[in-house]
Amino acid sequence: AQKITQTQPGMFVQEKEAVTLDCTYDTSDQSYGLFWYKQPSSGEMIFLIYQGSYDEQNATEGRYSLNFQKARKSANLVISASQLGDSAMYFCAMIEIYNQGGKLIFGQGTELSVKP
């Protein structure tokens, strides 16, 4: 069954340091997409990064990179050089293309706090 797991309810990181947010997934589909979103206290959902199941290279977008380990079914988000504005909830998400007809599901989230 399609499932996303984020095991870190909360994380702290010092400003300017790097942090890794964990995400594991379960799927029997060969074709799927993985996403990370940021949700500040305002409630809006901000797209950060996407990784397709057939992409051989890890995705990167500015200070964000996705550490994709397909065999281990993990898609961890790495934020380099943390900033105070990075404090927010972070959600990992997955979409299955064939088995679930495009069902997009989210993990429980990780609350990141950046300390000055």
Name the residues that contact other proteins, by CB under 8 A.
6, 31-33, 35, 43-45, 47, 50, 52, 91, 93, 95-97, 101-109
What is the token pair recorded at 79? 């934020």
Q: Measured from the CB of residue 56, what is the shortest distance to other proteins in angstroms?
A: 16
Q: Which amino acid is at 105?
A: I
Q: Is 77:62 a contact under the CB 8 Å cutoff?
A: no
Q: Measured from the CB of residue 108, what is the shortest distance to other proteins in angstroms?
A: 4
Which of residues 68 and 91 has its CB atom nearest to other proteins in the complex?
Answer: 91
Which of residues 14 and 28 has its CB atom nearest to other proteins in the complex?
Answer: 28
Which of residues 6 and 87 has its CB atom nearest to other proteins in the complex?
Answer: 6
Q: How far apart are the first and last CA of the chain?
A: 41
User: What distance in Å separates the CA atoms of residue 106 and residue 115, rounded to the nearest whole number?
Assistant: 27
